[in-house]
Structure 1
Amino acid sequence: MIFRNNNLYWSGLEIACIIEENNKIIEYGLKPEHRIKYCRIVRRKINSRNRFYLQLILEGKPYQNPDNKIGFEEIGLDVGPSTIAIVGDTKAELKQFCSDLVPKQKEKRKLQRKMDRQRQANNPQNFNTNGTIKKGKKKWKKSNHYKKTSSNAAELDRKLAAHRKSLHGKDINEIMAMGTRIKTEKIPYKSWQKNFGKSVMVRAPSMFISGLKRKAENAGGSFNDFPTHTTKLSQVCHICGNTVKKPLSHRWHICCGIEMQRDLYSAFLSKCVNVNTGSLDIARARMLWPGLEPVLSAAISRVIQSANGWNCPASFGLEYRRQSGSPVKPEATVTEAVDAVIRDQIYEDESHREVI
């Protein structure tokens, strides 16, 4: 299989290749200095039709978009099943992870339910009266409508995968624009798959981390991940050094006068981890905190402004008062609720006494 002069020569065949014009990536790859190592044909199914592409593996460095600049800051990263927190030297971000994919999951679920109904209608002998599938070997009939629905579901999966890859690339480029020296905790993939299966399936955090590591190292930076059982960044306080286990429902770190969103605080502490020892450098955290606390607070303010009142994700741990729009900590919410219950009980007792 040989590619020469925009043609593919394979088993005595000469196949003209359709090359997209004005594509900077293709133009860069087809330059004479990039020697072709080997080529292969890739089949992709798009809209129920097979399409074949010629994939070239070239020698040299990949194309870099001039619009994607590379920063030089040290980045602390905290990736969750549905959130991502980024803390640099001068900027911090807290946002949802691949939030654009969530609405499309509803469309996918509708197609899956439709396929289940069609399969049960075409094969009533394979189902029990309660709708469950009978045990044992069975033969399945697939109608044309079922095949069409299955094809639509496969096409939607392909679009979701492409969109997810695009969102990953966008987030990676934003991180690389801040810096290429990245520190983060190791993600417990198996545990996440058990506890947050749907979120992991939609967002694919492992693929995101792999792409970020590859790009950071290619840019001359570094990617360091450390085990959570030695650092415990979501449980430790850098002021007193105490470690207090918090449930996932507690989204704020409150200790020693510090009140900070949990994910942002963990990302900040990631910056202060000693790579050689894999432990938190408390002295460095105390030194950096006065300068980075306003940066983290500014990130929370941006989240509040873009949340449109009550539409803020629950995973952020931010709650709002309708009138002031100021954030309310979980402890304050619980206290207000308890006070309201006590006041109601007092009023009921007083009214009961008056009646008596």
Structure 2
Amino acid sequence: MHQEHKLSKRFELCRGMYNACLRELLKRYTALKQSKKYRVVCKMENGKKRNKLFSELNKEFGLVEYSIHEFVKPMQHAFKKNIDSFTSQKIATRAFKAFEKIMYIQGKKVHFKKYGEMYSVEGKSNSTGIRYKDDNIFWNGLVLRTIVKKKDVYAHLALEDKVKFVRIKREWIKNKYVYYAQLVLEGTPPKKYNSKGMKNNSSTQKRVGIDIGTSTVAVCSETKVMLTELAPSVVELDKQIRIIQRSMDRSRRASNPLKYKEDGTFDTSNKDKWLFSKRYMRKKSQLKELQRLNRAKRKQDHEMLANSIIALGDVIFVETMSFKGLQRRAKETTVNEKGKFNKKKRFGRTISNRAPAMLLSIIERKLKYKSIRLNKVNTTLIKASQYNHFTNTYEKKKLHERWNNFGFCKIQRDLYSAFLLMNCKESLDEIDRDLCEQHFHKFRKMHDLEIIRLKKKGKTPISTGI
């Protein structure tokens, strides 16, 4: 209990430092934008001279990483019994990286951390500050014993590598914080062993095409065709989350009637303190636990799917997609056949739950362990969803059209796109028609078997068209 209390205190001190760094950076950035020099440089044409002047202005106004390290130093001295200098510098770096997104117009605003929202703290090296030695974590007089299972062969193999730095993480699990030591090690992860004691050797130099959507993924290789749902484990949890969120909203409205207008919208003019019932707080705790499970299950599903895809082949082709663009609401107001306005919502919730970009990042990370890159083809040139390799023509299809009719056969649209991507040229800007004709007969057989399997399965996502 004493160690838990000390850790909780230190996490809150780190949160205060992080927010202070963000406030200081925003204050300096406001001063920069108000300066005459900045306005003059903004009017200049893009080029090396303009970039150099911007760099000089950033140094002048203290908008560089090492400048914020100097700012956090007095705070660290005030709390030196709890926070070491390396950890405080890492917090300052973290705040600067968050702020940089605003400076380079990659984000609209920074988010300050509320009470209890600091979930991880890390050091810069394993020599001072937070460090790992002899199965213990040492941090400013605090000694934390780590638990490594004796039968966990993978963990013991990994711990043979050099520890670069240590990160202490905490998660809210069943109404309490659980703390973890995350060691960042040098080199690549050791290979896992299967039940027979043999290494799981994946195939090499075999082509794989991936057509990824918002809720499904189609995979085509030389030996297997697969159309599967992304993160299927999150579906049931998502329903439970929505039910609890609706219950919390009803409770919040009942406890704070003056905070809402007659039409049900939030009244910004009311500055009264929010009131929350005990029932609401219990629901909030349940929601937090479900959201944690949701994250864990989604990542687990993606890791397993990534392993099965890489086992089919190492030469993987995928289209570049802007998932952020698909999350945005539609700008144009349209009317349907009945004269009613169409919803402007697009795929925001689906992408949030299924996280397709996460799957690609996991595949890319696993390929890097073998010094192989993920082949990202040019979407505007390839147009896999529109291309017909028989006629060498492009035909634009509507979103609800899920099948390609070639006259002599019907092929599911996503699986056909994955097949085309598998037969992409090394230049990544053109489909190899010769390869398509060479492999199509085998692909069609595997495609038909996969469609039969999906039909027997019963319920499949609407986007598959099955």
- Residue matched to 1:336: none
C-alpha deviation, 1:28, in angstroms: 1.5
Q: Which moved more, 1:112-121 or 1:251-260?
A: 251-260
- Residue matched to 1:70: 202
- Residue matched to 1:56: 183
Asked if 2 retains the 8 angstrom alpha-carbon contact of 1:180 and 1:220, the reply is no
In structure 2, do the counterparts of structure 1 residues 81 and 63 end up closer, same or farther at CA, with 3 Å as the change threshold? same
In structure 2, do the counterparts of structure 1 residues 2 and 274 end up closer, same or farther at CA, with 3 Å as the change threshold? same
- Find the residue that maps to 1:222 and give its secondary structure: coil
Matching of residue 238 in structure 1 with residue 403 in structure 2: no
- Find the residue that maps to 2:394 and give its secondary structure: coil
C-alpha deviation, 1:256, in angstroms: 5.2
Q: Which moved more, 1:79-88 or 1:143-152?
A: 143-152
- Residue matched to 1:106: 239
Greater per-residue strand proportion: 1
- Residue matched to 2:289: 155
Identity %: 31
Which string of whole-angstrom CA distances, capped at 9 and with x for unpartnered residues, describes residues 315-353 of structure 1?
Answer: 2212xxxxxxxxxxxxxxxxxxxxxxxxxxxxxxxxxxx
In structure 2, do the counterparts of structure 1 residues 16 and 284 end up closer, same or farther at CA, with 3 Å as the change threshold? closer
Which string of whole-angstrom CA distances, capped at 9 and with x for unpartnered residues, describes residues 138-166 of structure 1?
Answer: 33122332222111111110000000000
Q: How large is the RMSD of aligned CA atoms in angstroms?
A: 1.8
- Find the residue that maps to 1:8 and give its secondary structure: strand
C-alpha deviation, 1:130, in angstroms: 3.0
- Residue matched to 1:335: none
Compute the TM-score of the two structures, normalised by the length of structure 2: 0.64
Aligned residues: 313
- Which of 286, 298, 316 in structure 2 is aligned with 1:182? 316
- Residue matched to 2:131: 2
- Which of 195, 199, 203 in structure 1 is aligned with 2:354? 203
CA distance in 2, matches of 1:142, 1:224: 51
1:143 maps to a residue whose letter is S
C-alpha deviation, 1:183, in angstroms: 0.3
Matching of residue 129 in structure 1 with residue 256 in structure 2: no
In structure 2, do the counterparts of structure 1 residues 105 and 13 end up closer, same or farther at CA, with 3 Å as the change threshold? closer
1:315 maps to a residue whose letter is S
CA distance in 2, matches of 1:176, 1:129: 56
- Which of 16, 38, 44 in structure 1 is aligned with 2:171? 44
In structure 2, do the counterparts of structure 1 residues 200 and 238 end up closer, same or farther at CA, with 3 Å as the change threshold? same
Asked if 2 retains the 8 angstrom alpha-carbon contact of 1:69 and 1:176, the reply is no
- Residue matched to 2:302: 168
Q: Which moved more, 1:108-117 or 1:8-17?
A: 8-17
Which string of whole-angstrom CA distances, capped at 9 and with x for unpartnered residues, describes residues 48-74 of structure 1?
Answer: 312222221222221322234412221
- Residue matched to 1:266: 417
Structure 1 unaligned blocks of 5 or more: 319-356
- Find the residue that maps to 2:233 and give its secondary structure: helix
CA distance in 2, matches of 1:92, 1:70: 17
- Which of 28, 32, 36 in structure 1 is aligned with 2:157? 28
CA distance in 1, matches of 2:358, 2:404: 29
In structure 2, do the counterparts of structure 1 residues 155 and 177 end up closer, same or farther at CA, with 3 Å as the change threshold? same
- Find the residue that maps to 2:363 and give its secondary structure: helix
What are the within-5 Å matches in structure 2 for residues 188-337 of structure 1?
188-194=322-328, 195-255=346-406, 257-307=408-458, 311-318=459-466
- Find the residue that maps to 1:280 and give its secondary structure: coil
Which string of whole-angstrom CA distances, capped at 9 and with x for unpartnered residues, describes residues 79-131 of structure 1?
Answer: 11111111110111112222221121110001101110111111111112232
- Which of 221, 226, 237 in structure 2 is aligned with 1:93? 226
Compute the TM-score of the two structures, normalised by the length of structure 1: 0.83
Structure 2 unaligned blocks of 5 or more: 1-129, 195-199, 329-345
CA distance in 1, matches of 2:144, 2:300: 31
1:85 maps to a residue whose letter is A
- Residue matched to 1:17: 146
C-alpha deviation, 1:137, in angstroms: 5.0
Asked if 2 retains the 8 angstrom alpha-carbon contact of 1:239 and 1:256, the reply is no
- Find the residue that maps to 1:142 and give its secondary structure: coil
C-alpha deviation, 1:197, in angstroms: 1.2
Asked if 2 retains the 8 angstrom alpha-carbon contact of 1:101 and 1:160, the reply is yes
In structure 2, do the counterparts of structure 1 residues 242 and 258 end up closer, same or farther at CA, with 3 Å as the change threshold? farther
